[in-house]
């Protein structure tokens, strides 16, 4: 492992990047006990349940069942703590910024573990588990700009007796609230909080890209991968899975758990003089 950490530190720092773009996926939160919501195959596509349930179409048809499903997911997320991979990525940001460079962490995870570990330059491109929003677009609490803290709503009444009458509702227009996450049948441009333009801009200009625990099957990963590949930007992937992504020429793979290899690499970098 020390050798892998040294190689990773070298891949991140030689030469020093101007904009280090990090993309994290479910694998980054796996060691925190958050289910990946995918099948057991390394490159399995989303489980059929997820693809059916996490949609506007399903919300419109059966908001009660969708809320019950999300409350289960949120319960798993709320009980989780950041793991060493989250802390190491916050360290990596400190290292990059201390050296005068720019840093952006784009996560596909809706949990709040990156920010709790101290990451600052962070885009939660698939939304956030700690927010909800009005399901009526154009409402001040709905898309394209509005959202509310989930903690502002007492969801216990709904949990105890899920029904249309107990659904959490928008305090302004009384429409049902929904999770503040990107559904499978929605676009990144749907809500300003997904900050998709910023992600596109970073994808176009980053000169070092690090993927952590991503399966390369989701839109934003593909965007970053293609841009980096076309511009011959050095790419690094940390994932213990055995199958690689498409377009992986020039990508250095570390088939290690991120929570093991990243902390060592970050401490090597932070210990160096720059």
Chain residues in the site for Zn ion (CB under 5 A): 134, 136, 139, 141, 170, 172-173, 175
Q: Which one-letter DSSP state was computed for residue 46?
A: B
Task: For Zn ion, give the closer residue by CB, 119 or 135.
Answer: 135
CA neighbor of 110 nearest in space, from 71, 155, 146, 77: 77
Cβ proximity to Zn ion, 72 vs 192, nearer residue: 192
CB nearer to Zn ion: pick between 134 and 258: 134
As a whole number of angstroms, the distance between CA 5 and CA 3 comes to 5
Q: How far is the CB of 155 from Zn ion (least distance, A)?
A: 17
Contact yes or no for 147/131 (Cβ under 8 A): yes
Angle at 229 between CA 213 and CA 39, to 5 degrees: 30
Nearer to Zn ion, 11 or 173 (CB): 173
Among the options 30, 87, 126, 191, which is catalytic?
126
126: annotated active-site residue: yes
Q: Minimum Å distance from CB 70 to Zn ion?
A: 18
Instruction: Say if CB 95 and CB 269 are below 8 A apart.
Output: yes
H/E stretch holding 43 reads: none
d(CA 247, CA 229): 7
The least CB distance from residue 178 to Zn ion, in Å, is 10
Smallest distance from Zn ion to CB 17, Å: 43
Q: What's the token pair of residue 82? A: 């950041």
Active centre residues (catalytic): 126
């Amino acid at each position: 492992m020390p050798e892998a950490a040294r190689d990773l530190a070298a891949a991140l720092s030689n030469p020093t990047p101007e904009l280090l773009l990090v993309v994290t996926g479910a694998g980054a939160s796996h060691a925190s006990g958050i289910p990946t919501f995918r099948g057991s195959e390394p490159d399995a596509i989303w489980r059929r349940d997820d693809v059916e349930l996490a949609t506007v179409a399903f919300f419109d048809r059966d908001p009660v069942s969708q809320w019950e499903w999300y409350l289960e997911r949120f319960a798993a997320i709320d009980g989780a703590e950041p793991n060493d991979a989250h802390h190491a990525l916050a360290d990596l940001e400190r290292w990059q910024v201390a050296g005068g460079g720019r840093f952006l962490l784009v996560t596909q995870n809706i949990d709040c573990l990156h920010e709790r570990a101290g990451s600052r330059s962070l885009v939660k491109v698939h939304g956030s588990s700690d927010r909800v929003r009005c399901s009526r677009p154009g409402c001040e609490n709905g898309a394209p700009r509005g959202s509310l803290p989930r903690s502002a709503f007492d969801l216990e009444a709904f949990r105890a007796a899920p029904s249309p009458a107990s659904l959490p509702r928008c305090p302004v227009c009384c429409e049902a609230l929904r999770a503040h996450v990107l559904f499978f049948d929605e676009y990144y441009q749907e809500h300003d909080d997904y900050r998709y333009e910023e992600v596109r801009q970073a994808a176009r200009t980053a000169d070092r890209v690090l993927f952590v625990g991503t399966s390369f099957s989701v839109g934003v990963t593909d965007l970053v991968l293609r841009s980096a590949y076309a511009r011959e930007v050095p790419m690094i992937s940390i994932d213990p899975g055995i199958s690689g992504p498409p377009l992986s020429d020039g990508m250095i793979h570390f088939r290690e758990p991120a929570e093991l290899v990243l902390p060592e690499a970050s401490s090597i970098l932070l210990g160096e003089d720059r």
